[in-house]
Structures are given as C-alpha cells and as structure tokens.
Amino acid sequence: MVRSVVVTLVVAVIVAPSTVEGYAKYVKLVPNGGNVPDNSNIGHLDPAGETGLSDFGEAFSTAGNAWTAALCQADTDGDGFTNGQELGDPCCTWTTGSTAGLVTDGVSDPSDASKTPTSSELKAGCSSGGTSTSTNSTGSGDSIGDVVGTVAPAGPTTGGLPPDDDEDDSSESAVLTAGASMATISSVTMGLVTAVALAVVL
C-alpha cells in the first residue's frame, strides 16, 4: 500500500511540472502571448485555462501549435481584425523569441469579438509600417517612392515563420513543430520510465 502511494506521488511530481511548462511553451509561440489584457490563456475559453479551447486555440492547434502566416492573417473571432493585428504582429513577420517589429501596446484577445486593438498602429494593419519603400530614379532627377510589398522573412529560420507562398501551409508549419512534438514525447517517456524504475526499486 505504501509502495503504491509513493509511486503515485513520484509520478505526480514528475509529470506535473511538464504540464505547467506546456502552457508557458505555448505562450512563447504566439506574439504577445502573455501580454493580452484580461486573458493570460488566450487559447482557452477561460482566463485560467481550465476549460476547452477557444476559436483561436482551435486554430492554433490546427496550425500545429505554431504561429503561421495563415493563422496570423485569419480573424478567428470575426471582429474585422486579423489575429496578427490583435496580437501585435500586423504584417505577420514575428518570429519566436524576437521582438523585432512587434507592437506591444493596444493588443487584444483574438478569441473575443468584443475586444479589438486600441493602438492606431494595429488598427491600420500592415500598411502602418510593415511595408518597405524604395526610391527609384526615373532618370530625370526625380524619384518615385514605390511600395515594394510587405516585409517577410527571407527564408525558413529556426523557430520562425517560413515565407508565405500562398500554398497549403501544412508542410511549412510541420518543420517548425517537429522539435516541439519530440520534446513533449521525450518528457512523457522520461516520466514513465522513472516511475517504472522507482516502482521496481521500491
């Protein structure tokens, strides 16, 4: 009897931290993931993260738990603002671990249509600063400012977004999430192996 109680407690201690780390990991995979007013768990139906997934959480899960161009450009709560606008990445250029180009003020919950961005930069969308302008000479001494296009990553980067090619993004997001899936499996496997080893020893 004592042996089974000890094994149960050891398993609980080993597995519980990996569960908590999972939420923190997801927060880091979304721009401003821990900076949304009134909702620290934007992928869930309640701020405590104890109930099911919200529309944004479902879309994030479908995207392979990765911030993809398609997820960024979607409007999961139907309020007229993209998820990128609501989370401070209006041009969908944010990469995991980076703050470059990230707007941190005025973000809103992409799961709640009653909450929209309060920042004028986010309300304007990508046109507010996410485009690159080049000056081309006309040969007459005049110059013309042309909007070249939206700024996007030059190529796939570790932990970042691959360039959007307007094709199916499943293969692009699979590259980004393969390592995360293995880390989760490794943590669970390690917990189970440790529990079995302790049960044998005790």
Rounded to an integer, what distance in angstroms lies between the CA atom of residue 154 and that of residue 93?
Answer: 10
Give the pLDDT band of residue 10 (cuts 50, 70, 90).
Answer: low
Buried b (16+ CB within 10 A) or exposed e, 42-63: bbbeeeebeeebbbbbebbeeb
Residue 37 has pLDDT above 60, yes or no: yes
Give the pLDDT band of residue 5 (cuts 50, 70, 90).
Answer: low
Residue with tokens 């089974």: 4
**pLDDT value at position 117?**
96
**pLDDT value at position 71?**
97
Residue with tokens 């986010």: 122
- Alpha-helical segments (H) within the chain: 2-28, 55-62, 69-73, 83-86, 120-124, 170-201
Nearest to 31 by CA among 161, 164, 176, 119: 161
Nearest to 197 by CA among 189, 76, 178: 189
**pLDDT value at position 138?**
35
CA dihedral 177, 179, 184, 185 (to 10 degrees): 110
Which pTM was predicted?
0.56
139-179 tens-digit pLDDT: 333 333 333 333 434 344 444 444 554 444 444 444 344 44
Q: Using a pLDDT cut of 70, give the percent of the chain over it.
A: 51
149 Cβ neighbours under 8 A, 6+ residues apart:
131, 132
Nearest to 122 by CA among 76, 153, 91, 161: 91
- Measured over the CA atoms of residue 93, residue 99, residue 103 and residue 108, the dihedral's sign is positive
77-136 tens-digit pLDDT: 999 999 999 999 999 999 998 988 899 999 999 999 999 999 999 999 987 554 333 233
**pLDDT value at position 8?**
60
For the chain, the structural domain boundaries read 2-125+155-201
Name the average pLDDT for the chain: 71
Angle at 10 between CA 7 and CA 11, to 5 degrees: 85
Residue 194 has pLDDT above 80, yes or no: no
**pLDDT value at position 132?**
33
C-alpha distances out from residue 65 to 6, 25, 99, 181, Å: 35, 10, 19, 10
Give the pLDDT band of residue 198 (cuts 50, 70, 90).
Answer: low
Give the pLDDT band of residue 48 (cuts 50, 70, 90).
Answer: confident
**pLDDT value at position 11?**
53
Residue 45 has pLDDT above 50, yes or no: yes
